[in-house]
Chains A and B, each alone.
Chain A
Amino acid sequence: MYEIRIHSRGGEGGVTAARLLALAAFRDGKYATACPFYGAERRGAPVVSYVRIDDHPIRVYSQIRNPDLVVVLDTSVMNVVDVFHGLKPGGTILLNATKVRNVPGHRSYAVDLTGIALSLNLVVAGSPILDTPVLGALAKMGIITVDSAKRAIAEMFSDERNVKAAEATYQELVV
């Protein structure tokens, strides 16, 4: 089982990113579950979403304690939340950032999701959309196939810029 923990703030698309990822993994023929953990609806509050991907049916509902991958969509959350808590030794990190942050013992990646979203004017109520671009990064990292990523995005969103954003991220991320 591969376990991914996604950190974001309410309203940034962290929950949607988890659902897109689960959908894409499902389209890849895997079993996948996605679940958010958050309080009452509130834009701006730290939100954690869990995604599990496996070749067998998933029967775990409790929170992911030792993720294989930590994704941080909003690095400002790192001031209030220990996003790397429990990350497996050798586990992977993906940050929405312009610069890679070196974390000893882990593979760390960074891609400017915000920049890509803004360049395509993928913005809602003043906030850049991060959930669709991040799927391109996850595809580049091999978590899902790029075809399933694009298919999942197209299933959920009619605006083509979402697929374009994922393609742009796929191109931009260096693994």
Chain B
Amino acid sequence: MTKIPKEEYILKSTSACAGCPSSLTLRYVLKAAGPDTVMVVPACCTSVIQGIFPNTAINVPVYNVAFAAAAACASGMSEAFRKAGRKTNVIVYAGDGGTVDIGIQALSGAFERGTDFLYICYDNEAYGNTGMQRSGSTPVGARTTTTPGGKTHAKKDLDAIVAAHNPPYMATACVAYPQDIFRKVEKALSIRGPSFIHVLAPCPPGWRFSSDMTVEIGKLAVRSGMWILYEREYGKVAINAISKASIRKPIPLEEYLAPQGRFKGISRQAVDTLKSQAERMAKRLQLEEAGTC
């Protein structure tokens, strides 16, 4: 059992929605990172969650930047800190839109250059801050305000894109497993170079479920195999125990989809597509873990 420090860095009176997965995730990220940390935050829900001038609800320095610029800004900050001999954690904390769409160029550059920082993408599968428009990370069949009939294109495989840059450490996580988040952040920050953690962040207003079900939906995502928890350390894949079990015996995908209003009326075809995507992903990871590809 991981020992989680008591110190809180997310103070009372954030501006988050009730049941927000991002604030819950961030709480454990900062517990793992500690006070010698600077967050770089592009336009995303966290820009609002901090609160409004002159108060902030986050007790580490937070540098807010333009939407496309987070990883590039973090790059500059990290280089400056390291030149000055400081070990300060530089953590980009960004939504999926600012990572996989408008932020992908800066992300790619920062990773290709071997920047010493941690990039955390909390993924609520749409543009949450602006009212849930589709992003490249929105899955097939999901209703958003710009895909009222359900998205027809597949969710971008962000992890494959990041993996293509061969970072020393990357992992997936889920808000429903905070201790796992804590452990992965600790590990990431102990490794020099770029690391990446992709956190599934079920969003009550966006995915249309009631605000007390965030953790439950996160667990359903993992148990159905829709979201696989794994780590990739120096290229070597290790699927986490709970996902190993979930791949072996997944709960029906319908149990994950049914409580979410965004999947209401989803076509049979889209469900099958999601299923086969999840199965393909699991198979690929298993093969990688076994070293056969």
Determine direct contact between A and B, CB below 8 Å: yes
User: Chain A residues in contact with chain B, CB under 8 A?
Assistant: 11, 39-45, 124-126
Say which residue of B15, B47, B129, B208 sits within 8 Å of A45 (CB atoms): B15
| Cβ-defined contact, A126 with B211, below 8 A | yes
B204 sits at the interface (CB 8 A) = yes
**Chain B residues within 8 Å of A45, by CB:** 15
Q: List 10 A-B contacts (CB under 8 A).
A: A11-B205, A41-B130, A41-B132, A42-B17, A43-B205, A124-B208, A125-B204, A125-B210, A125-B261, A126-B210
| Cβ-defined contact, B129 with A43, below 8 A | no
B131 sits at the interface (CB 8 A) = yes
- Residue of B at shortest CB range from A11? B205
User: Chain B residues in contact with chain A, CB under 8 A?
Assistant: 15-18, 47-48, 52, 128-132, 204-205, 208-211, 261
Q: When A125-B204, A125-B205 are in contact, do A40 and B48 touch as well, CB less than 8 Å?
A: yes
The 8 closest A-B pairs by CB, nearest first: A126-B210, A41-B131, A43-B205, A40-B48, A43-B17, A125-B208, A44-B17, A44-B18
**Chain A residues within 8 Å of B17, by CB:** 42-44
Q: When A125-B204, A126-B210 are in contact, do A40 and B18 touch as well, CB less than 8 Å?
A: no
**Chain B residues within 8 Å of A42, by CB:** 15-17, 48
| Cβ-defined contact, B130 with A40, below 8 A | yes
- Residue of A at shortest CB range from B49? A42
A44 to B13, CA, bound (A): 13
Q: When A40-B48, A40-B129, A41-B129 are in contact, do A125 and B18 touch as well, CB less than 8 Å?
A: no
- Residue of B at shortest CB range from A126? B210
| Chain A min CB distance to B167 (Å) | 31
| Chain B min CB distance to A39 (Å) | 7
Q: Which of A45, A124, A125 has the most CB of B within 10 A?
A: A125
Chain A at the B interface: mostly helix, strand, loop or mixed? loop
**Chain B residues within 8 Å of A41, by CB:** 128-132, 205
| Chain B min CB distance to A95 (Å) | 22
A98 to B131, CA, bound (A): 32
- Residue of B at shortest CB range from A41? B131
| Cβ-defined contact, B18 with A43, below 8 A | yes
| Chain B min CB distance to A37 (Å) | 14
- Residue of A at shortest CB range from B212? A126
Q: When A45-B15, A125-B210 are in contact, do A39 and B52 touch as well, CB less than 8 Å?
A: yes
Q: A43-B18, A44-B17 are in contact. List 8 more A-B contacts (CB 8 A).
A: A39-B15, A39-B48, A40-B48, A40-B130, A41-B129, A43-B17, A125-B208, A125-B210
| Cβ-defined contact, A125 with B209, below 8 A | yes
- Residue of A at shortest CB range from B48? A40
A41 to B49, CA, bound (A): 11
Say which residue of B47, B130, B204, B261 sits within 8 Å of A43 (CB atoms): B204
A125 to B217, CA, bound (A): 14
| Chain B min CB distance to A80 (Å) | 11
| Chain A min CB distance to B170 (Å) | 30
| Chain A min CB distance to B21 (Å) | 13
**Chain A residues within 8 Å of B211, by CB:** 43, 126
| Chain A min CB distance to B12 (Å) | 14
**Chain A residues within 8 Å of B48, by CB:** 39-40, 42
A43 to B16, CA, bound (A): 8
A125 to B132, CA, bound (A): 15
A40 to B16, CA, bound (A): 11
**Chain A residues within 8 Å of B208, by CB:** 124-125
Q: Which of A39, A41, A45, A124 has the most CB of B within 10 A?
A: A41
| Chain B min CB distance to A151 (Å) | 25
**Chain B residues within 8 Å of A125, by CB:** 204-205, 208-210, 261
**Chain A residues within 8 Å of B52, by CB:** 39
**Chain B residues within 8 Å of A126, by CB:** 209-211
**Chain A residues within 8 Å of B16, by CB:** 42
- Residue of A at shortest CB range from B131? A41
A45 to B15, CA, bound (A): 8
| Chain A min CB distance to B42 (Å) | 14
